[in-house]
């Protein structure tokens, strides 16, 4: 029994549709399962990212406290502290000397608080100094006498621990973040510098910038007290909060809490230690803001239903698509052939145009190179391996008073110096041996038979072929006779000036205010008693040479001179490294 070709085609098409449909179904199942796995991995990644962000924030806060330790370390090195203990060791009393020293320390503390700021806000709210007997000697903001009497200063003293520490002295009414630095005088414990840090700085500059609207961020103290920095010491408006002290470090934890409206809320929290402090950074966020509102299981069910609907529609569309597939394929093939032919024609036209432009550019390039070389003030020549001139620029013919025809074919040392052999120290001869660029300063006592001393800055650059052999060399020479003579005169003048200053015991110096660079004459170094290696050559370094009693006077004079931009004369004292005090007179002007 014969089977109609049409029926055979229909049967084959149905079989193909079934096979393709089955493959599509399996592929969609694969996509759904893969998407489920991806969503699960994304949730895991989101939790890991939350931990990493928290670690980064904790590291930033830790660095903030590290800088505060550095602040107190620098403050402990202030001269006013050691002066107090030196005076006390000399037997001075409070009425005669010691009280003035304490006042000086207080001024340094006030200045310290005023200078240490973030965007105009003070970092420190208070700084005090307590001696080794737990007696309060100095505080930055007097007026807390009642609180000072109640304060047990003994717990801040660390005579056996030379390190700067951060402590938490917060209570139910105030947040007290304290940085404490032990002070040693002549390697003996003498007291403690204690500073209070304003907690709002940490919130404003490290947390608020990247904080989400629904996020709670705070510091957990060693006493398990949660400090919410945005309102200093209140806890989040949730009940059923977990025991943060028992939480694992750098691990997320999910839990359910009740807000102030009685609504159950799923939250995620993470705890990370702040390095170098007794604090832990704690973040509380709604689970939905981290992991989204839909779980992977819910998404799997929704995508499964969508896949079933999609497969049903795909079967209908596939039947319609197969009827037009053959006609579309033939049409696209014919259109593709026409496009290929048109593309070939455009490619040929483009190649012809590019070749024409390349030839024209080559001609222009050769003309430009010749014009550039002729316009150069340097003597430029192209020579072969035997130093015979192949080409010379216009400056060469002008300097040697010869035509190109007279120069080409002659050796460079014959054409330039009238010699039979290469010039002493010839860089071209060196380049032929070394195979690389060479340089030499040539002193000619005559030029083409004319006795005239000239100095030339000569370069020789070898030109190599693909095998690395030298085929030609480029010679570049510049007449530096005027510059050489000027340099010799300048050196002679400088030596005379230095000798005159030494005889008159007068030094000079220049200060570049913009770059803050200072240059001294040799005699000024001798006056101050320093060597160039001992002086940093800036304004701040010079201030260290001035007598302490004249320092403010000198600073004020300097400000006035820079403001008025007039000539000035001033006398002040300097202190040499051997403690010898000298009075100097300074005359200058601002330019």
Tell me, yes or no, whether 475 and 504 share the same domain: no
pLDDT beyond 70 at 557:
yes
Distance CA 217, CA 60 (A): 14
Distance CA 577, CA 581 (A): 9
Give the model's pLDDT for residue 14: 67
Instruction: List C-alpha distances in Å: 430 to 259, 387, 422, 433, 438.
Output: 88, 12, 11, 5, 7
Q: Which residue has the higher pLDDT, 428 or 14?
A: 428
Helix (H, G, I), strand (E, B) or coil at 117: strand
Give the model's pLDDT for residue 509: 79
What's the CATH code of the domain at 575? 3.30.450.20
End-to-end CA distance of the chain: 116
Distance CA 191, CA 194 (A): 10
Average pLDDT score, the chain:
81
Give the model's pLDDT for residue 315: 63
Give the model's pLDDT for residue 231: 46
Tell me: the pLDDT tens digits for 206-253? 777 666 666 778 787 766 777 765 544 345 666 667 777 778 887 888
Residue 576 placed within a domain: yes
Give the model's pLDDT for residue 325: 63
Tell me, yes or no, whether 426 and 513 share the same domain: no
3-state secondary structure 405-461: HHHCCCEHHHHHHCCCCCCCCCHHHHHHHHCCCEEEEEEEEEECCEEEEEEEEEEEE
Q: Above pLDDT 70, what percent of the chain?
A: 85
pLDDT-derived band at 505, boundaries 50, 70, 90: low
Burial of 91 by CB count in 10 Å (0-12 exposed, 13-18 middle, 19+ buried)? Answer: exposed
pLDDT-derived band at 502, boundaries 50, 70, 90: low
Counts for the chain of helices (H) and strands (E), in that order: 15, 22
Give the model's pLDDT for residue 74: 93
Residue 177 placed within a domain: yes
Helix (H, G, I), strand (E, B) or coil at 471: strand
pLDDT-derived band at 190, boundaries 50, 70, 90: very high
pLDDT beyond 60 at 137:
yes
Residue 53 placed within a domain: yes
Q: Which two tokens stand for residue 542?
A: 């010079």
Q: Which domain holds residue 567?
A: 494-588
Residue 302 placed within a domain: no
Lowest mean pLDDT among 264-268, 343-347, 490-494, 549-553: 490-494
Tell me, yes or no, whether 469 and 502 share the same domain: no
Give the model's pLDDT for residue 180: 94
Q: Above pLDDT 90, what percent of the chain?
A: 12
Give the model's pLDDT for residue 145: 53
* End residue of a domain, out of 455, 479, 503: 479
* End residue of a domain, out of 251, 272, 293: 293
Residue 533 placed within a domain: yes
Tell me: the pLDDT tens digits for 565-580? 888 888 989 889 888 8
Q: Is 97 left (phi over 0), alpha (psi -120 to 50) or beta?
A: left
pLDDT beyond 70 at 147:
no
pLDDT-derived band at 486, boundaries 50, 70, 90: confident
Distance CA 244, CA 272 (A): 11
Q: What is the DSSP string of 29-79?
A: HHHHHHHHHHHHHHHHHHHHHHHHHHHHHHHHHHHHHHHHHHHHHHHHT-H
Which residues on adjacent β-strands are paired with residue 199? none
Q: Which residue has the higher pLDDT, 303 or 456?
A: 456
Give the model's pLDDT for residue 302: 72
Tell me: the pLDDT tens digits for 434-458? 889 898 888 777 665 556 777 888 8
Count of structural domains, the chain = 3
Calculate mean pLDDT across residues 161-189.
87
CB 512 within 8 A of CB 590: no
Give the model's pLDDT for residue 66: 92
Tell me, yes or no, whether 152 and 230 share the same domain: yes
Tell me, yes or no, whether 199 and 274 share the same domain: yes
Q: Which residue has the higher pLDDT, 460 or 500?
A: 460
Tell me, yes or no, whether 409 and 471 share the same domain: yes
Residue 225, number of CB atoms within 10 A of its CB: 18
Distance CA 204, CA 64 (A): 13
CA dihedral of residues 329, 330, 332, 337 (deg, nearest 10) = 140
Give the model's pLDDT for residue 236: 62
Tell me, yes or no, whether 122 and 157 share the same domain: yes
β pairing state of 177-185 and 188-197: antiparallel
User: Nearest CA to 515 among 543, 544, 542, 538?
Assistant: 538
Tell me, yes or no, whether 89 and 193 share the same domain: yes
Tell me, yes or no, whether 386 and 500 share the same domain: no
Tell me: the pLDDT tens digits for 463-473? 988 888 898 98
Residue 242 placed within a domain: yes
Residue 385 placed within a domain: yes
Tell me, yes or no, whether 458 and 583 share the same domain: no
Task: Report, in angstroms and rounded to the nearest whole number, the Rg of the chain calculated over CA atoms.
Answer: 43
pLDDT beyond 50 at 283:
yes
Residue 30, number of CB atoms within 10 A of its CB: 10
Tell me, yes or no, whether 541 and 404 share the same domain: no
Tell me: the pLDDT tens digits for 44-55? 888 888 888 888
Give the model's pLDDT for residue 399: 78
* End residue of a domain, out of 293, 319, 351: 293
Tell me, yes or no, whether 557 and 409 share the same domain: no
pLDDT-derived band at 191, boundaries 50, 70, 90: very high
Give the model's pLDDT for residue 146: 54
Calculate mean pLDDT across residues 289-297.
73
Tell me: the pLDDT tens digits for 368-424? 777 787 778 788 889 998 889 888 888 888 877 888 888 888 888 887 777 788 888
Residue 37 placed within a domain: no
Please, how many CA atoms are within 13 Å of residue 322, restricted to the half-sphere of its CB?
A: 13
């Amino acid at each position: 029994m014969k089977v109609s070709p049409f029926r055979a085609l229909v049967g084959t098409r149905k079989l193909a549709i079934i096979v393709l449909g089955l493959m599509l179904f399996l592929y969609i199942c694969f996509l759904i399962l893969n998407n489920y796995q991806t969503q699960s991995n994304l949730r895991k990644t989101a939790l890991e990212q939350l931990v990493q962000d928290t670690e980064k924030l904790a590291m930033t806060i830790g660095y903030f406290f590290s800088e505060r330790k550095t602040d107190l370390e620098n403050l402990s090195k202030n001269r006013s502290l050691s002066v107090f203990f030196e005076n006390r060791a000399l037997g001075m009393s409070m009425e005669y000397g010691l009280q003035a020293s304490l006042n000086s320390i207080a001024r340094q503390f006030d200045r310290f608080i005023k200078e240490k700021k973030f965007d105009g806000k003070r970092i420190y709210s208070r700084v005090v100094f307590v001696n080794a007997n737990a007696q309060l000697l100095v505080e930055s903001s007097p007026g807390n006498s009642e609180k000072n009497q109640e304060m047990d200063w003994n717990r801040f003293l660390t005579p056996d621990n030379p390190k700067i520490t951060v402590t938490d002295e917060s209570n139910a009414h105030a947040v007290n973040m304290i940085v404490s630095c032990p002070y040693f005088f002549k390697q003996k414990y003498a007291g403690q510098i204690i500073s209070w840090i304003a907690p709002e700085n940490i919130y404003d500059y490290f947390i608020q910038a990247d904080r989400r609207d629904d996020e709670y961020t705070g510091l957990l103290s060693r006493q398990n007290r949660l400090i919410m920095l945005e309102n200093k010491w209140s806890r989040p408006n949730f009940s059923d909060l977990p025991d943060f002290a028992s939480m694992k470090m750098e691990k997320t934890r999910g839990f359910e809490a009740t807000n102030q409206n009685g609504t159950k809320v799923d939250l995620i929290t993470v705890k990370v230690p702040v390095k170098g402090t007794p604090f832990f950074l704690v973040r509380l966020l709604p689970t939905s803001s981290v992991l989204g509102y839909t779980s992977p299981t819910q998404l799997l069910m929704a995508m499964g239903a969508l896949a079933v609907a999609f497969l049903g529609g795909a079967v209908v569309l596939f039947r319609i698509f197969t009827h037009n597939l053959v006609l579309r394929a033939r049409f696209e093939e014919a259109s593709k052939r026409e496009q290929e032919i048109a593309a070939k024609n455009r490619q040929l036209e483009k190649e012809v145009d590019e070749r024409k432009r390349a030839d024209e550019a080559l001609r222009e390039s050769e003309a430009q190179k010749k014009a550039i070389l002729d316009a150069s003030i340097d003597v430029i020549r192209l020579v072969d391996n035997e130093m015979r001139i192949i080409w010379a620029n216009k400056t060469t013919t002008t300097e040697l008073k010869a035509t190109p025809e007279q120069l080409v074919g002659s050796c460079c040392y014959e054409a330039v110096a009238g010699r039979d052999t290469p010039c002493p120290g010839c860089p071209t001869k060196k380049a032929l041996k070394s195979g690389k660029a060479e340089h030499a300063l040539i002193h000619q006592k005559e030029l083409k038979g004319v006795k005239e001393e000239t100095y030339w800055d000569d370069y020789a650059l070898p030109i190599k072929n693909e095998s690395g052999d030298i085929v030609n060399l480029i010679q570049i020479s510049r007449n530096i006779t005027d510059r050489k003579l000027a340099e010799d005169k300048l050196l002679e003048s400088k030596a005379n000036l230095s000798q005159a200053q030494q005889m008159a015991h007068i030094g000079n110096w220049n200060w570049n205010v913009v770059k803050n660079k200072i240059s001294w004459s040799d005699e000024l170094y001798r006056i101050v008693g320093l060597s160039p290696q001992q002086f940093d050559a800036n304004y701040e370094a010079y201030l260290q040479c001035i007598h302490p009693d004249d320092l403010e006077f000198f600073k004020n004079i300097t400000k006035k001179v820079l403001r008025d931009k007039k000539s000035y004369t001033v006398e002040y004292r300097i202190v040499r490294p051997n403690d010898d005090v000298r009075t100097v007179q300074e005359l200058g002007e601002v330019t």
